[in-house]
Amino acid sequence: MPLAGVLLLVALSLYLANPPRPVPATAPAVVFSAERALREVAVIARRPHSIGTLDHDRVRDYLVQRCRALGLRVTVQDTTVVSGFRGIVTGARVQNVVAYLPGRTPGGPGVLVVSHYDSQPHTPGAGDDGSGVATALETMRALRAGPPLAHDVRWVFTDGEEIGLMGARAYAADTARLRREVGVVLNFEGSGNEGPTLLFEVSPGNGWVVGEFAKAVPGAFGSSLFYEVYRNLPNDTDFTAFRATGLPGLNFAFNGGHSYYHSPVDTPGRLHPGTVQQQGDYMLPAVRHFASIPLVRTPAPDSTFFNPLGSWLVQYDARWDYLLTLVAGLLLAAAAVRARRQGRLRLRGWLGGALAWVGGLLLLGATAWGLTRLVAGAYLQYALFYDHTFYNVRAYHLAFVALGTAVFAAYYAGLLRWLRPDSLTGGALLVLAVLQVLVLVKAPTSGFLLGFPLLFGAAGWALRGSQPAGERVVPSQRAWAWVWVLPAVALLAPGLSILLTTAGLGTLLLGAAFFLAVLLGMLLPVLLPALRRADASGARVHWAVPGLSGLVAIGALVAAHARSTPTADLPQQTQVLYILDADERQAYWVSSLPHADAWTRQFFSAPTFRTMPTLFPGGLLPILHQTAPSLALAAPTVELVADSALPTGRRLRLLVRASRPGVVNLRLQWPRSARLVRVAGQVVPPPPADAKSPAPTGAYATLLYYAPGAAGVQLEIETAGPGAFELVAVDRSLGLPPVPGIQPLPATMIPAPGSGSFTTQVKKGFNL
């Protein structure tokens, strides 16, 4: 059965995308070994180590000691960095660990390898980014075991990535020095605990750097499609700071096991060894290659790159996609003319087939939306997971693909009553041609994604044999159908899998619906014969494909339900925080959950669900809250260090300190009319021109300062008038306060991600 062959090809393409087998610690010293790297992960990710904590200092000190033991020169960049966005200034004391391996000709542009060593507050961070840090340490060891490299190599273990790329911003601030010392940047990230490591972001003008990387690692997984998608998303990694300097570079990450991202169960034991091995299989040869060739920055046009099947990486000048589109378009036109002359196609039918595919796309989009709404409503325990990505999300993805296939197949089975097979298959190609032009305009390095399926689909259609005019029965498959189908499956099936992993059950599932619609549209030459066959009574519909697909969807939903109950191995996320208003002596339990769960009901027996402007100024969303015992917790202090008059107001120098032990950050808010000038001696940059600040003038009204320590932080503020200046200070420490009678978290529940989750906060206002 031809459809069985398609399924086998899909299975093969997904299998070939798996990470490699881990290399044991007994491997030669010059080889990267995941087993050796995982020993480093076990030390780094022993406990959560977010900025401002003692375990953060432990990891920093371990990196310094380990790099020195490997024979590298080590420095710690200890500085304060300030950045602003959307009305909020973020500041932090960061401590980047920089390890230097001189080359045979030191001093010129070399290689910079980046990974961050801080974690989110409640996660050990084995995947994010203990994996990248450990990969770097194992790469250092392997390089030291081999011959010296031609160029310098620097590893920077950045601090404060989780709070806004603060360490990377600090290291990249001296752009002139950076461009003297660095010829190429390699950044390694993780947002899960398994799956293939992908080259997903590149610097602009990337033809040279991608081409050289393809020489170093010809079996890498990557796609310029990810580059186009990622640069239109609000997400950032440390690579963002280095890309802004104009340096060529590559950004790598894995995102399988997204349920574990920023979670207390992102532990060393759950990190997939093959994923770590693949990171090392990229980092080690890439560093060796780039440190051995001239690193002269020569602008080159952007590249198109992708994996046509498995790990074979194809790379070429993206401008060739315009020729690809032209040839595919001409071939499509020729195939349509041939079909018209043979009586297999009419213009009206062709346009009808195109509209039919658009209808199928809308049906798949509705299927995706309906499935996400159904799951979100039925399983409230998924609410705090990123994009509702519970541990059983793969079963939901299978259910979506199977249900989408059933809906699409049933829809096209009905269409065969009114439209010829050539109208339906050719119509899908016509829409693909229009979409290809739009892709070249909006995402020019992604022209391969639709261009090659369009080219081979048009070629297959052109090779299709003649059929008597008026004949509506689909003929048996011939070679032309496989020319049409196979390239589309090889390209689109792995991309759909990666997109589903990224989407979870969030809004990106609509993008997966588009992918699925394109894939199923390209499968029509083998799908339609399975839907409509000839028998003694003429053509009749066969419901095997939609029926079997529907059964698979039901089975997947049943399997997902069977794994929907939280366990100690697959715990549910929950959230609560304690905040004390020191001025009113009133405290609250607060949660972002829309409803209390089994554990948080002890805090929210009779909660209110609305905004809290006095405690969270500017907060637009309602939050769950209820009064809590008012504890004797020391509030932050604000000392007026200096006060001088200005023609239009006052210039104040303030010292803000936490009075409680363990405070990891301070939140300060003031009237929008005032201007924050300096933080810890650093000049606050003006708001970006496109910042969507709540302040009418674009001025900042909030400061988040991390790792204040016992010394606190000094601010300089200019007020808009001579009167009293109002300032609100809120400190934050990790963990809930010891309130009598509170039951501890059961083994089946864990803190949800986020800097506010499971924290104690004390708020106090000041008139200065």
Q: What is the 3-state secondary structure (H, E, C) of 340-381?
A: HHCCCCCHHHHHHHHHHHHHHHHHHHHHHHHHHHHHHHHCHH
Residue 538 reports pLDDT greater than 60: no
What's the mean pLDDT in 290-314? 88
342 and 299 belong to one structural domain: no
Residue 469 reports pLDDT greater than 60: no
51 and 149 belong to one structural domain: yes
Give the pLDDT score at 675: 92
Give the pLDDT score at 184: 97
Give the pLDDT score at 465: 61
User: What residues contact residue 592 under an 8 Å CB cut-off, 6+ apart?
Assistant: 384, 575, 623, 624, 752, 754
Burial (CB count <10 Å: 0-12, 13-18, 19+), residue 102: middle
Give the pLDDT score at 539: 52
CA distance linking residue 491 with residue 497, whole number of Å: 11
Give the residue, 726 or 672, on which the prediction is more confident.
726
Residue 25 reports pLDDT greater than 60: yes
* Cβ–Cβ < 8 Å for 149, 117: no
Per DSSP, which regions of 647-679 are E strands?
Answer: 649-657, 663-669, 675-679
Token pair listed for 144: 């030291």
The per-residue pLDDT for range 728-750, each reduced to its tens digit, is 999 999 999 999 999 999 999 99
The residues that bridge with 584 in the sheet, in sequence order, are none
Write the CATH number for 52: 3.40.630.10
384 and 451 belong to one structural domain: yes
Give the pLDDT score at 278: 98
Token pair listed for 151: 């160029």
Lowest mean pLDDT among 393-402, 581-590, 610-619: 610-619
Give the pLDDT score at 344: 86
260 and 354 belong to one structural domain: no
Out of 562, 580, 603, pick the residue that ends a domain.
562
Q: Tell me whether residue 263 is in a domain.
A: yes
The per-residue pLDDT for range 592-603, each reduced to its tens digit, is 888 899 999 999
Q: Tell me whether residue 622 is in a domain.
A: no
Out of 513, 533, 562, pick the residue that ends a domain.
562
What's the mean pLDDT in 432-452? 95
Give the pLDDT score at 697: 44
What's the mean pLDDT in 42-55? 98
Q: Beta-carbon neighbour count of residue 234 at 10 Å?
A: 4
Domain hosting residue 56, numbered range: 18-306
**In Å, what is the CA distance from 140 to each residue of 38, 287, 353, 594?**
14, 10, 57, 47
486 and 508 belong to one structural domain: yes
427 and 552 belong to one structural domain: yes
CA 267 distance to own-chain centroid: 19
Residue 540 reports pLDDT greater than 70: no
Scored b (16 or more CB within 10 A) or e, 457-466 reads bbbbbbebee
Q: Tell me whether residue 283 is in a domain.
A: yes
Q: Beta-carbon neighbour count of residue 347 at 10 Å?
A: 10
Lowest mean pLDDT among 396-410, 501-515, 691-705: 691-705
Share of the chain above pLDDT 70, in %: 95
Query: What is the chain's mean pLDDT, rounded?
Result: 92
What's the mean pLDDT in 611-623? 81
Q: Tell me whether residue 510 is in a domain.
A: yes
Give the pLDDT score at 478: 67
What's the mean pLDDT in 315-344? 94
* Cβ–Cβ < 8 Å for 508, 387: yes
Out of 306, 329, 345, pick the residue that ends a domain.
306
What's the mean pLDDT in 469-492? 71
Residue 634 reports pLDDT greater than 90: yes
Residue 536 reports pLDDT greater than 50: no
Residue 533 reports pLDDT greater than 70: no
Element spanning 7, H or E: helix 2-15
457 and 501 belong to one structural domain: yes
Lowest mean pLDDT among 109-113, 476-480, 509-513: 476-480
Q: Tell me whether residue 444 is in a domain.
A: yes
Token pair listed for 647: 């023609």
291 and 336 belong to one structural domain: no
233 and 335 belong to one structural domain: no
Give the pLDDT score at 345: 87
Give the pLDDT score at 86: 78
Q: Residue 270: which pLDDT band, with cuts at 50, 70 and 90?
A: very high
Give the pLDDT score at 468: 47
User: For helices 524-531 and 509-522, what crossing angle results, to 10°?
Assistant: 70
Q: What are phi and psi of 691, to 5 degrees?
A: -65, 130
What's the mean pLDDT in 30-39? 98
**In Å, what is the CA distance from 639 to each residue of 80, 635, 714?**
20, 13, 9
Burial (CB count <10 Å: 0-12, 13-18, 19+), residue 316: middle
The per-residue pLDDT for range 117-137, each reduced to its tens digit, is 999 999 999 999 999 999 999
Q: Tell me whether residue 754 is in a domain.
A: no
User: What residues contact residue 79 under an 8 Å CB cut-off, 6+ apart?
Assistant: 93, 94, 170
What's the mean pLDDT in 239-245? 95
For the chain, what is the domain count?
2
Name the range with the highest mean pLDDT among 454-463, 524-533, 686-695. 454-463
What's the mean pLDDT in 333-354? 92
Q: What are phi and psi of 227, to 5 degrees?
A: -60, -45
Pairing state of beta strands 675-679 and 713-718?
A: antiparallel
Residue 688 reports pLDDT greater than 90: no
Give the residue, 571 or 235, on which the prediction is more confident.
571
> Starting at the edge strand that comes first in sequence, how are the strands of the sheet with 649-657 ordered?
637-646, 649-657, 713-718, 675-679, 682-683
509 and 379 belong to one structural domain: yes
> Which DSSP string do the residues of 293-305 spell out, in sequence order?
S------BPPEEE
Residue written as tokens 């590893």? Answer: 155
Q: Tell me whether residue 280 is in a domain.
A: yes
User: H helices of 464-587, where?
Assistant: 479-503, 509-522, 524-531, 544-562
Q: Tell me whether residue 744 is in a domain.
A: no
**What spatial distance separates the first Cα and last Cα of the chain, rounded to whole Å?**
81
Residue written as tokens 């349920």? Answer: 259
* Cβ–Cβ < 8 Å for 353, 339: no
280 and 328 belong to one structural domain: no
Give the pLDDT score at 245: 94
Residue 696 reports pLDDT greater than 90: no
291 and 384 belong to one structural domain: no
